[in-house]
């Protein structure tokens, strides 16, 4: 059932219903930012005919909204839903009560908080390969700290990087999950762990203060404003691992409607308004829209599922 606010305006192009974006969390978080910022810019640049209604639907780490879309709104052409890497990870780990990623269509992502691996300023590890080689030689010699629990995306980023280097004994990798990136990086600065795995936004202050070195950023290209930090790919580790900000749509909508939303999202990604929003919120460019993004999500979900089985997070 559509909200009253969603029924008051025009749709994406010709519908009598106003377009709606569900943020699967309370106001103020990342999913809320995605809906409100992308929706506003879509209207500002003329990619949609009327302002997009934002509905906050917190619950189950995104599971309540996912279930609502699949079971009640599967063919709604005027609906988009905010998503991120956490959405894909939870689907891969069966956190949505048996629901799967192929029950919706992933539309695209146009920005991301890039993954990083960080060491203290006086660490003996000068590059990502040095750190990975140390783990391969003696897994007990390196402990990673991250702001997510065991099996969360911070943990999985490390396991993916090691997998790219041919190391598959992932249960031997030492990881400590803490309450947020700040706690994790403090442990590394203090010498209690050898490296921190997180996102660039979590380490900027520590980097500016000269307390840490970022060994690698896990993006396709170097991040604007941080051009001195090499990518993992440059160092022989073919991994892109980012906390992307994007959208999915109901599975049952037409290809034409999927195409309209793809075009609108791509237009936001190309806009000066979005570039300014990314800069203001510490995001880096990450533009994958349409089939390329769906393929990317499918690949990530498969890899996360397999790694999660290996470390015992799922059966």
pLDDT for residue 7: 32
Predicted confidence at residue 3, as pLDDT, reads 38
What residue segments make up the domains of the chain, in order of their start? Answer: 5-112+243-310, 114-235
pLDDT value at position 15?
A: 43
The DSSP bridge partners found for residue 196 are 118, 145
pLDDT number for residue 5: 34
Query: From CA 239, how far away is CA 217, in angstroms rounded?
Result: 9
**Does domain 114-235 fall into CATH 3.60.110.10?**
no
Residue segments in the chain with a per-residue pLDDT below the cut of 50: 1-16
The gap from C-alpha 252 to its chain's centroid, in whole angstroms, comes to: 24
DSSP string, 204-233: HHHHHTTSEEEEEE-SSSPPTT-TTSPBTG
Give the closest residue to 108 by CA, choosing from 264, 241, 240.
Answer: 264
Fold of the 5-112+243-310 domain: D-Maltodextrin-Binding Protein; domain 2 (3.40.190)
Confidence at residue 23, expressed as pLDDT on a 0 to 100 scale: 96
Spell out the residues 6+ positions from residue 4 whose beta carbon is closer than 8 angstroms to its own: none
CA–CA gap between residue 161 and residue 237 (Å, rounded):
6
Same CATH fold, 114-235 and 5-112+243-310?
yes
Q: What's the pLDDT at 17?
A: 58
pLDDT attached to residue 29: 83
What is the pLDDT at residue 225? Answer: 83
Q: What tens digit of pLDDT does each residue of 121-170 get?
A: 999 999 999 999 999 999 999 999 998 889 999 999 999 999 999 998 99
Assign 209 to helix, strand or coil: coil
Q: What local confidence, expressed as pLDDT, does residue 234 receive?
A: 97
Closest CA to 155 of 202, 197, 110, 105: 197
């Amino acid at each position: 059932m559509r909200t009253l606010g969603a029924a008051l305006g025009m749709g994406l192009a010709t519908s009598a219903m106003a377009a709606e974006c569900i943020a699967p969390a309370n106001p103020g978080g990342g999913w809320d930012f995605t809906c409100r910022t992308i929706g506003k810019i879509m209207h500002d640049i003329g990619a949609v005919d009327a302002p997009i209604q934002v509905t906050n639907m917190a619950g189950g780490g995104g599971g309540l909204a996912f279930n609502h879309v699949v079971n009640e709104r599967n063919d709604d052409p005027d609906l988009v839903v905010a998503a991120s890497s956490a959405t894909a990870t939870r689907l891969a780990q069966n956190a949505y009560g048996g629901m799967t990623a192929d029950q919706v269509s992933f539309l695209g992502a146009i920005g991301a908080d890039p993954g990083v691996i960080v060491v203290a300023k006086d660490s003996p590890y000068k590059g990502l390969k040095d750190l990975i080689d140390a783990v391969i030689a003696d897994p007990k010699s390196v402990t990673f700290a991250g702001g997510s629990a065991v099996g969360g995306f911070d943990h999985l980023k490390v396991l993916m990087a090691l997998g790219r280097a041919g190391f598959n004994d992932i249960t031997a990798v030492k990881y400590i999950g803490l309450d947020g990136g700040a706690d994790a990086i403090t442990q590394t600065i203090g010498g209690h762990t050898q490296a921190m795995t997180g996102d660039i936004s979590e380490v900027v202050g520590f980097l500016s203060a000269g307390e840490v070195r970022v060994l690698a950023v896990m993006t396709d290209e170097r991040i604007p404003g941080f051009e001195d930090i090499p990518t993992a790919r440059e160092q022989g580790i073919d991994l892109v691992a980012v906390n992307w900000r994007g959208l999915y749509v109901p599975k049952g909508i037409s290809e034409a409607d999927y195409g309209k939303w793809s075009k609108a999202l791509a237009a936001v990604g190309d806009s000066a308004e979005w570039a300014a929003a990314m800069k203001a919120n510490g995001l880096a460019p990450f533009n994958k829209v349409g089939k390329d993004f769906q393929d990317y999500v499918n690949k990530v979900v498969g890899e996360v599922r397999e790694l999660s089985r290996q470390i015992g997070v799922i059966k």
